Structure 1
Amino acid sequence: MRYSGVAWTGVGFEVAVLDGAGRPVGPAARFAAGRLGSLTDHLLRLQREFARAGQHLVTVVDSTNGVVDGALTGAGLTVYRADPWVLPARPAFGSVAAAELAGAAARDLGSVVRLEPGAGTLAGRGTEMVADIDASAADLERMRLAGRCRWAEPSELPVVALTFDDGPNPPYTGRVLDVLDRYGVPATFFCVGLHALAHRAELERMATAGHQIANHTWSHPYLPDLSRSELVAQLERTDQALTAAVGGEGPRMFRPPYGGRTPQVLSWLRELDTTMVLWDVEPADWSMPGADAIAAAVLAQARPGALILLHDGGGDRSQTVAALPAVIEGLLDRGYGFARVDGLPGPGRTPS
């Protein structure tokens, strides 16, 4: 068996490989942000080399890295997640080192969690996440009423917001923008800092077209696993990357990856100058159920004021692109219009 770890940093990714005894197999490899395709090809090449020698390769990420596993599992790699309780402390900004991630699996493969295609980064932690969300309900409602959380706003106006998470992600972000341009529909893009760092052209195109650009953290972590300082750094670094690309004062809206929250996380967010945005309609396009299924789910769930969650990043998003014309045309046929999230009515607000 061979074990690879994929760590994230402030500039990209690091990959280290260990043998069954926990010894390094060659030097660590580093990939700049935006080079996820090269990182995937590197691991696939290693997988083929090890297979010829009768060795199986497993790859390990951690719960603060939700930007790579979709692409890796989709490419046919065997991917596991290591949770904080099996790892050493993280640095101030970044995951633990790649060798530490690989080492967790080398020491005890049973201590890490297998991630299957379509299952999501948090496979195996669903019960915990639901309990944390339930425990946060009262705090979340107070934030919503104070205008610090956008979610489930009743509306008499037949207007919805299309939102796209996890990009920018060429070529799919550009194809989404092509469709939006064709129909003249505005949208909101919740962008990941690591991708924003590398794909400035896509951000510039969003801004020029009048779409809203918002914050989706730097590395797509599960927020309850972060400290306060780590959460602040995730948001601030992403704001800086987005502002450097398109100017302005930086995003003032933020979407938590997976919708992950606890009362503690919400208390930290209330201290920051940002508005949290959740969603009402989720067709689970990230699991790739097929373009027809994505469109049908959106149309079945849509209602006035809905926040529709789609993805332009996180892996192959060809099904989302293919579904988008049917989504837009179906909503138009039902009399709906479209707005950016910051243009939807909220508590005490009228559309802008």
Structure 2
Amino acid sequence: MLFSGIAWSGTGYEVTVVGDDGRQTEASLRFEPGRTDEMISYLRSSTEPLVTVIESTNGILDGRMMAAGLDVYRADPGLLPERPLFGSVSATDLARIAQQDLSALARLVRTRGTQTGRESDLAAGMVASTAQVTALSATGRWLEHGERDRPQIAITFDDGPLPPYTGQILDILERYGVPATFFCVGMNASAHTDELVRMREQGHGIGNHTWSHPFLPELSQPQLVEQIERAGEAIAKASGTAPPTLFRPPYGSRTPEVVGWLTECVPKVALWDVEPDDWSMPGTEIIVRDVLDQARQGSIILLHDGGGDRSQTVAALPPIIEGLLARDYRFVTLDELTAAPV
């Protein structure tokens, strides 16, 4: 069996493959952020059984890799050397950890995503942060929905930009004259600048979704700040705008400590109240049904344009828009949804 590790940095990804003896089978390869399809093809070309290992600060590759048929595992901090301020541990470390004891790693499931096996930890962090979130919501710095007495609704998209899906979504939004808000990952924004320019030109909102989509409770405060600042810089450079003021934590992940850190470095945190789990690819009809069933006045809808195969989301978008228009909802960006009424 072969064991591949994927590391990330500010310039892209590095892949190392080792055999059963822990020795590299060939020199490590580097891939720029826009060459992820090429990287996945390289891994799929293996003539021997292969497993691929990522760590929890890399949350934008697993969906695409699993959709391509790769066997993907997550290595958690207790197994890893100390991470740098910005970036993951080395690809060689990740590959050799799997070679030494694959059973210690979490095997990811497509319908459960990067957090496979620790969903309870994610939920516990949310519950523990309830008091802080309530206080921040009262000041307008933590957003889960808009005013319930106005017939407005906001569609948001996470994890992109990712061709071709982001472009297809922008086509649909343009056709219907509907604004949306895109929470972009810095790694992707640096690779796909045309999509950011188009978002700006079409009048969509743009938010910050970190650099590499990490599980925030496993970061130190300096690592969290670096993720947010680097992503903000990349988004501003690509879109030709100021760094975003809206931030969305990957997975909605938080603990009381993380919430405290966020209040020091981001103006507003934006979550959602309508979640059809389109990232798990449940089927176009289910995505449409869940959105229309959950949506209310002031709702923030969470959909995805990145992180994996988003063809179902693209197909679901027109009937979602038409269904909500039939209820006389008006689509707005998140900034407009959460603005004080005139």
Residue of structure 1 in register with 2:167 after alignment: 174
Q: Distance in 2 between matches of 1:86 and 1:157?
A: 50
Q: CA deviation at 1:20?
A: 1.1
1:186 to 162, 179, 192: 179
Residue of structure 2 in register with 1:101 after alignment: 94
> Is 2:203 aligned against 1:210?
yes
Q: Distance in 1 between matches of 2:205 and 2:179?
A: 8
Q: CA deviation at 1:28?
A: 0.4
Residue of structure 2 in register with 1:34 after alignment: 34
> Is 2:116 aligned against 1:138?
no
Cα deviation code 1:89-124 (max 9, x no counterpart): 011110100111111111111110001222210000
Residue of structure 2 in register with 1:76 after alignment: 69
Q: CA deviation at 1:279?
A: 0.6
Does the aligned pair in 2 maintain the 1:344–1:350 contact within 8 Å? no
Does the aligned pair in 2 maintain the 1:113–1:123 contact within 8 Å? yes
User: Which has the higher mean CA deviation after the structures are superposed, 116-125 or 210-219?
Assistant: 116-125
Does the aligned pair in 1 maintain the 2:6–2:16 contact within 8 Å? yes
Q: Distance in 2 between matches of 1:2 and 1:334?
A: 54
Q: CA deviation at 1:34?
A: 1.5
Residue of structure 1 in register with 2:108 after alignment: 115
Q: CA deviation at 1:345?
A: 3.3
Q: Report % sequence identity.
A: 53
Does the aligned pair in 1 maintain the 2:75–2:105 contact within 8 Å? yes
For 1:43, give the aligned amino acid.
L
1:231 to 224, 228, 233: 224
Residue of structure 1 in register with 2:324 after alignment: 331
Q: CA deviation at 1:289?
A: 0.8
Residue of structure 2 in register with 1:125 after alignment: 118
TM normalised by structure 2 equals 0.98
- 4+ aligned runs moved over 3 Å, structure 1: none
- Map 1:1-352 → 2, pairs under 5 A: 1-46=1-46, 49-50=47-48, 56-345=49-338, 349-350=340-341
Structure 1 unaligned runs (5+)? 51-55
* Secondary structure, counterpart of 1:213 in structure 2: strand
Q: CA deviation at 1:154?
A: 4.0
* Secondary structure, counterpart of 2:34 in structure 1: coil
* Secondary structure, counterpart of 1:34 in structure 2: helix
TM normalised by structure 1 equals 0.96
* Secondary structure, counterpart of 1:271 in structure 2: helix
User: Which has the higher mean CA deviation after the structures are superposed, 201-210 or 149-158?
Assistant: 149-158
Q: CA deviation at 1:21?
A: 1.8
Q: Distance in 1 between matches of 2:35 and 2:183?
A: 20
Q: Distance in 1 between matches of 2:244 and 2:28?
A: 35
Does the aligned pair in 1 maintain the 2:147–2:337 contact within 8 Å? no
User: Which has the higher mean CA deviation after the structures are superposed, 111-120 or 75-84?
Assistant: 111-120
Q: CA deviation at 1:185?
A: 0.2
Q: Distance in 2 between matches of 1:321 and 1:274?
A: 31
Cα deviation code 1:311-347 (max 9, x no counterpart): 000011000000000000000001111110010136x
Q: Distance in 2 between matches of 1:163 and 1:152?
A: 12
Cα deviation code 1:223-243 (max 9, x no counterpart): 001000110010100110011
